[in-house]
Amino acid sequence: MGLNVLVTPRSFAAHSSEPLDLLSDGGLTVLRNPHGRIMAKEEMIAHIAEADAVIVGVDPLDREVLEKAPRLKVIAKYGVGTDNIDMRFAQERGIKVTTTAGANTEAVADYAFALMLAAARRVLPIDKACREGDWTKRTAVDVNGRTLGLIGLGQIGKAVVRRAQGFGMRVLAYDAVRDEAFASAAGVRYAESVDDLLREADFVSLHVPLTEETRHMIGERELRLMKPTAVLINTARGGLVEENALCEALKNGTIWGAGIDVFEKEPPDNPELLSLDRLVIGSHCAASTVQAVDKMGVMASKQVLNHLQQLNGVETE
């Protein structure tokens, strides 16, 4: 019986055949997502039954889905966030879970900074007004020389720091695990608490995983701690921000603006968010560059092959 790999991300091998070639040359039959979108739970159950491996984006891989995948041996996350995967049950089943950590670091950091600039300088409402013949000058806020607060100082957070240095920004960070060597070398100061960071920062960018501890870590109380000229950026996970509270804060001018690439449900449940000119919206696309997509695809394919070959006693590079 041959080995099958289910591939759900729509961008997989979109710009290069190398990820697919690796799987095919390794003797795997590739089963593609036929829906052209994120699959629902029932669709995942239908397609995963014959899979020995899965390369997955944000499609659901909870216990109910995994129970319908008796042959599954490895899950390669096409990205880094594993909140759509029942990690505990995967471990119980002996299913290997990998991520493509590092493949999209620079792309996400670029996009975080793009959202920061767009929200601060009101790029979208100015563009919209100009297209309608309104050449009125709109006053915005500076990015250069201001204070950036990073909640999470992992690989992506550190990449954002490098960009902030070019804008002469002061950088505050909060992380449960401190990298004192990096902070010292990069001139980053650690805040004693998230609240302290929110009070001091002009820009707040989130770079933490979604867990029970971080879910809705930014809500009404936290938004009120921020400056009225502050900007919130989220390229991490939608569940980190309580969206109705953010909507009210933007409507009321509690904060200056926000750049949000990720929502709890995509598109968001609250349609009012889509009408706010203080909000720059992304479609969970921070990692979607040609270069990052190619890297993630190749890395995920190699992880699948390596694990399956190791199980079969085949030496891998």
Residue with tokens 């119980």: 92
pLDDT, tens only, 145-169: 999 999 999 999 999 999 999 999 9
Q: Is 213 a catalytic residue?
A: no
Task: Identify the band that residue 177 occupies on the pLDDT scale cut at 50, 70 and 90.
Answer: very high
- Lookup result for tokens 């759900």: 8
pTM of the model: 0.88
Q: Active site residue: 207, 237, 278, 307, which one? A: 237
Domains of the chain, start order: 3-103+289-311 (3.40.50.720), 105-281 (3.40.50.720)
DSSP-assigned states of every residue in 138-164 = ------TT-EEEEE--SHHHHHHHHHH
**For residue 313, what pLDDT is reported?**
65
CA distances in angstroms from 114 to 107, 139, 161, 229, listed in the order given: 10, 19, 14, 18
Banded pLDDT at 315 (limits 50, 70, 90):
very low
What is the pLDDT of the chain when averaged over all its residues?
96
Is 316's pLDDT higher than 90? Answer: no
Cα–Cα dist 140/143, whole Å = 10
Q: Which residues contact 280 (CB under 8 A, 6 or more apart)?
A: 115, 118, 119, 123, 124, 257, 258, 259, 260
Q: Does the active-site annotation cover 222?
A: no
Alpha helices in the chain (DSSP H): 18-25, 41-48, 63-66, 87-93, 105-120, 123-131, 155-166, 180-186, 194-200, 220-225, 243-252, 290-311
127-146, pLDDT tens digit by residue? 999 999 999 999 999 999 99
Residue 225, pLDDT score: 98
**Position 2 confidence tier, pLDDT thresholds 50, 70, 90:** confident
Length of the chain: 317
* Structure confidence by residue, pLDDT tens digits, 34-84: 999 999 999 999 999 999 999 999 999 999 999 999 999 999 999 998 999
End-to-end CA distance of the chain: 25
Q: Is 207 a catalytic site residue?
A: no
CA atoms of 228 and 120, how far apart (whole Å)? 12
Average pLDDT over every residue of 185-192: 98
Residue 103 three-state SS: coil
Identified catalytic residue from 122, 207, 278, 284? 284
Strand partners, 77: 56, 99
> What would the pLDDT profile of 278-298 be if each residue is shown by its tens digit?
999 999 999 999 999 999 999
Supply the pLDDT for residue 314.
Answer: 47
